[in-house]
Amino acid sequence: MIPSTYPSAETMAQMTARMLLDIGAVHFNATEPFTHASGKQAPTYIDCRKLISYPRIRSTLMDFLACTVMRNAGLEAFDNIAGGETAGIPFAALVADRMGLPMTYVRKKPKGYGRDAQIEGVMAEGQRVLLVEDLTTDGGSKLKFVEAIRKTGATCAHTAVIFYYGIHDSTVPMLAENGIALHHLCTWADVVAEARRAGDFDAATLDEVERYLAAPDTWTAPA
Q: Is residue 14 part of a domain?
A: yes
Domain-embedded: residue 202: no
Residue 32 located in a structural domain: no
User: Apex CA 181: angle with CA 22 and CA 39, to 5°?
Assistant: 60
213 lies in some domain:
no
CATH number for position 108: 3.40.50.2020
Per-residue pLDDT of the chain (223 residues; tens, 9 = 90+): 566 678 999 999 999 999 999 999 999 999 999 998 778 899 999 999 999 999 999 999 999 999 999 999 999 999 999 999 999 999 999 999 999 999 999 999 887 776 778 999 999 999 999 999 999 998 889 999 999 999 999 999 999 999 999 999 999 999 999 999 999 999 999 999 999 999 999 999 999 999 999 999 999 988 7
pLDDT of residue 3: 60
Domain membership flag for residue 51: no
Cα–chain-centroid distance for residue 118?
21
Asked whether residue 76 is domain-assigned, the answer is: yes
> If we measure between CA atoms, which residue out of 50, 57, 58, 44 comes closest to residue 25?
50
Judge whether 208 lies within some domain.
no
**Alpha carbon distances (Å) from 206 to 70, 85, 186, 188, 201:** 34, 32, 17, 11, 7
Which residue range forms the structural domain that includes residue 14?
9-21+58-190
Q: Is residue 138 part of a domain?
A: yes
Domains in the chain, number: 1
Element (H, E) at 28: strand 26-28
What does the pLDDT read at residue 1?
Answer: 55
Reference 191, options 215, 168, 209, 218; nearest CA is 209
